[in-house]
Amino acid sequence: MYSWTDITGDEPQTLDAARLRRTLGSFPTGVCLVTTVYEGKREGMTINSFASVSLSPPLVLWSIRDDARSADAFISAPNFIITVLTDKQQELAMHFAKPAADKFEKYEDEFANGLGGCPRLRDSVASFECTTYSRYQEGDHTILVGRVQDFSGSDANPLMFHAGQVGSVQEVAAKIAKQA
C-alpha cells in the first residue's frame, strides 16, 4: 500500500501497489533495450516504458526508476538509443533486465557504435537514436524525452510483455491461455 495526494489537494489516496503493478501489466507492450554511454561507461537496460510523443519535432519517451543502478548515467547522458527487440531476443532482454558489472560483454558482437558512441544493437524490430531533449522527475521515476536523430525498422516480429509473460505474440497468448 502507498499513499499520495493528487494535484487537486484532495485527501491522500491509498492503493495496493502489488495489485496496481499486476493491473498495469494487463496492457500488452513491446520489450525494448535502452543504451547509453556516459563518462566512458556503457549502460543498458530492458524497458517496456516506451512511447512516441511527437512527429514534429520527432520525439519519443521512456522512464527510469530513480533508484535504478544506472539512473544517474541515463539521466545525465546526452544521447540514448531505444531498440525494439525481436521475438528471438528474449534471452538478451532477460540478461539486460538484471544488474551486472558489464552487461555488454556476453553480447559484444551484437552491438555497433551508434549516436555519440552509444551501443546500437545490430538486429531489431526498430531502433531510435536520440539526443536527450528533456527530463521530468515524476513520482519515483524520471521521464526521458529524446529527439530522434536517426531510426531504422524491419519486418521482424516483436518481443512482447503481457500479464507477467514475455515472448512472441503467439507464445504470450498461449502462456496466458494455459493460466486461464
**Whose grid coordinates read 496496481?**
20
Kindly report which listed range (4-8, 53-57, 150-154) carries the lowest average pLDDT score. Answer: 4-8
**What are the residues whose beta carbons fall under 8 Å from the beta carbon of 40, sequence distance 6 or more?**
none
Quickly list DSSP for 38-97.
ETTEEEEEEE---EEEEETTEEEEEEEETTSTTHHHHHH-SEEEEEEPBTT-HHHHHHHT
Binned at pLDDT 50, 70 and 90, residue 175 comes out as confident
Give how far the C-alpha of residue 37 lies from the chain's centroid of Cα atoms, to the nearest Å.
16
Which CATH number, 2.30.110.10, 3.20.20.140, 3.40.50.620, 3.90.1200.10, labels domain 30-179?
2.30.110.10
**Is a pLDDT exceeding 60 seen at residue 21?**
yes
pLDDT at 176 over 80: no
Give residue limits of the domains in the chain.
30-179
Residue 10: predicted pLDDT:
62
What is the model's pLDDT at position 47?
95
Is residue 29 over pLDDT 80?
Answer: yes
Q: What is the pLDDT of residue 13?
A: 65
In this predicted structure, what is the pLDDT of residue 97? 94
| C-alpha cell recorded at residue 143 | 521521464
